[in-house]
């Protein structure tokens, strides 16, 4: 058991959960199961990503330092012996990989392992290992090699497309489902709208295929918000407010309704938190009920980004670009704004920002937004911030097993409850 997993209740249906969450122990286990008839020299194992469903499954991505190189491995822990049938199906369509077995099963852990580019649902990852000739010619200059930059097993992967000199000529996003065309439509609609022209930057689409489940986008320079500090961070946060104000003025026609903060999702978040931390179950349940009882009335929907975390915002010389709009939806502007404010409150509660910094950034964000679009009323902004603290920040701490947030779950729930109970008519008072 690690210090992080000690903050989660035991999971009887996933009794070996903590082993997969311990990189050292997991590395040894992976090396044992994935070796191809000879000993592997595993010099290290990094845990890159986790998706934990209490009582159901645990997905993890590792970077193995093996035989002098690096290999990405995805693991999924099942319950009730379900891994046997999953392994049978995975073995039937596995593709060869370097150094490691393409697919393996650890029966004792009820876990299946996939060596990249093998994946349970992403069947198009092989193009990132050897680019087919017909795809090389899709880009100019030619796409010769790839560098993986983001990977969510069974869902999506993003990679740099490199030319013969190693320069980045595009980014390609690969999906498990035919979602590329929808993402293309969103990006192109934003890019060509007169309101956005010159003021709101999104990646240009270079190619798209729902049949291949791939979308190619121009590379955009800059640094993500989570890389910035001091005055640059304040400037970038203000630029985010200005960019969202422009985005929210665009038509929301054809976008799916944004429902992450619906009462049923809030109840679900409280249930997950309560199962992972039984000591917090009463507080989480009360909070979800309070939020459901005080939910604001629906307003005219706007064009939402839907996933405004800091890695989806790139700042270059003071100008901000929005990327990854594949969760765009239609709903109250307070959904996006509350998500940003909840992140700032989270960073204050967890010690990533001091109170003065968090307040200054929140004020800069809302002020810049208000210069370009009307702020939602104070009650709606408070409610959406409180709901995002529960359904985004607190829930993600559990299902992503975030070491820096798990010790502060109780404080996050208290922060959300305080916002629900607070009054006031000034939206700027919702600042941290």
How confident is the model over 407-415, as a mean pLDDT?
Answer: 97
Q: Name the pLDDT band for 193 (thresholds 50, 70, 90).
A: confident
How would you classify the pairing of strands 69-77 and 111-115? antiparallel
Q: How confident is the model at residue 37 (pLDDT cuts 50, 70, 90)?
A: low
pLDDT range class, residue 144, cuts 50, 70, 90: very high
Helix, strand, or coil here: 141? coil
Q: Which DSSP string corresponds to 265-315?
A: HHHHHHHHHHHH-GGGHHHHHHHHHHHHHTPPPP---EEE-S---GGGEEE
Average pLDDT over residues 360-376: 96
The class level of CATH for 125-217 reads alpha beta
pLDDT at residue 318 tops 80: no
Q: List, in sequence order, every beta strand (DSSP E) within 163-234.
A: 168-175, 205-209, 214-217, 223-224
Given a cut of 60, whether residue 310 has pLDDT beyond it is: yes
**Strands lying side by side in the sheet with 313-316:** 223-224, 313-316, 319-322
What b/e string do you get for 46-59 counting C-beta neighbours within 10 Å, with b at 16 or more?
A: ebeebbbebeebbb
Mean pLDDT over residues 17-29, rounded? 94
User: Which contiguous run of DSSP H or E holds residue 340?
Assistant: helix 334-349
**pLDDT band at residue 3 under the 50/70/90 scheme:** low
Q: Does 61 score more than 60 pLDDT?
A: yes
Q: How far apart are CA 61 and CA 47, in angstroms?
A: 6
| Interval 148-162: pLDDT, tens | 999 999 999 999 999
| Average pLDDT across the chain, whole number | 93
Q: At 156, is the secondary structure helix, strand, or coil?
A: strand
> Could you tell me the end-to-end alpha-carbon distance of the chain, in angstroms, rounded to an integer?
35
290 alpha-carbon distance from chain centroid: 27
The yes-or-no verdict on residue 195 having pLDDT over 90 is: no
Work out the pLDDT band at 38, boundaries 50, 70, 90.
low
Tens digit of pLDDT for each residue in 159-188? 999 999 999 999 999 999 999 999 999 999
Predicted local distance difference test score (pLDDT) of residue 317? 76
Q: What is the pLDDT of residues 263-293, one digit of tens each?
A: 999 999 999 999 999 999 999 999 999 999 9
Please tell me the distance from the alpha carbon of residue 107 to that of residue 77, in angstroms, as a whole number: 10
CATH number of 223-430: 3.90.1200.10
User: Is 0.85 topped by the overall pTM?
Assistant: yes
Q: Render 80-94 in DSSP notation, one character per residue.
A: TTTHHHHHHHHHHT-
CA distance 420 to 413: 11
Res. 221: pLDDT tops 70: yes
Residue 122 has pLDDT above 90, yes or no: yes
More confident residue, 13 or 297: 13
| Contact (CB, 8 A) for 186 and 285 | no
Has residue 79 got a pLDDT over 70?
yes
Mean pLDDT of 112-124: 96
Burial tier of 83 (Cβ tally within 10 Å: 0-12, 13-18, 19+): buried
Of 201, 191, 131, nearest in space to 159 by CA? 131
Q: For 222-261, where are the E strands, in sequence order?
A: 223-224
Burial of 33 from C-beta contacts in 10 A (0-12 / 13-18 / 19+): buried
Omega within 30 of 0 (cis) for the link into 100 = no
Q: What is the pLDDT of residue 43?
A: 76
pLDDT for 182: 94
């Amino acid at each position: 058991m690690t210090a992080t997993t000690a903050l989660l209740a035991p999971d009887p249906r996933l009794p070996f959960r903590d082993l997969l969450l311990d990189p050292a122990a997991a590395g040894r286990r992976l090396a044992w199961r994935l070796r191809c008839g000879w000993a592997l020299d595993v010099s290290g194992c990094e845990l890159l990503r986790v998706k934990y469903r209490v009582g159901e499954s645990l997905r993890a991505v590792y970077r193995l330092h093996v035989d002098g190189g690096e290999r990405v491995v995805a693991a999924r822990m099942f319950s009730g012996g379900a891994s046997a049938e999953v392994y049978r199906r995975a073995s039937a369509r596995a593709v060869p990989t370097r150094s490691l077995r393409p697919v393996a099963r650890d029966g004792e852990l009820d876990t299946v392992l996939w060596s990249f580019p093998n994946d349970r649902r992403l069947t198009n990852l092989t193009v990132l290992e050897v680019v087919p000739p017909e795809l090389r010619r899709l880009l100019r200059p030619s796409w010769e090699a790839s560098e993986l930059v983001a990977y969510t097993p069974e869902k999506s992967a993003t990679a740099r497309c490199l030319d013969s000199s190693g320069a980045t000529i595009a980014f390609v996003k690969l999906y498990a489902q035919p979602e590329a065309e929808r993402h293309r439509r969103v990006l192109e609609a934003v890019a060509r709208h007169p309101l956005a022209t010159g003021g709101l930057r999104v990646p240009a689409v270079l190619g798209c295929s729902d049949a291949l489940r791939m979308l190619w986008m121009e590379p955009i320079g800059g640094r993500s918000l989570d890389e910035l500090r001091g005055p640059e961070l304040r400037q970038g946060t203000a630029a985010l407010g200005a960019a969202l104000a422009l985005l929210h003025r665009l038509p929301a026609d054809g976008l799916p309704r944004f429902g992450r903060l619906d009462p049923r999702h809030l109840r679900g978040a409280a249930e997950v938190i309560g199962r992972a931390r039984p000591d917090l179950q009463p507080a989480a349940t009360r909070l979800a009920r309070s939020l459901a009882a005080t939910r604001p009335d629906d307003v005219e929907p706007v064009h939402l980004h839907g996933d405004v975390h800091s890695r989806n915002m790139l700042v270059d010389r003071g100008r901000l670009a929005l990327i990854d709009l594949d969760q765009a939806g239609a709903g109250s502007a307070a959904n996006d704004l509350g998500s940003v404010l909840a992140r700032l409150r989270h960073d204050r509660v967890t010690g990533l920002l001091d109170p003065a910094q968090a307040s200054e950034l929140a004020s800069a964000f809302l002020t810049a937004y208000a210069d370009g679009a009307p702020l939602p009323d104070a009650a709606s902004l408070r409610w959406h911030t409180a709901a995002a603290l529960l359904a985004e920040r607190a829930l993600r701490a559990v299902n992503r097993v975030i070491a820096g947030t798990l010790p502060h779950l109780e404080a996050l729930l208290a922060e959300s409850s305080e916002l629900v109970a607070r009054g006031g008519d000034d939206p700027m008072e919702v600042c941290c």
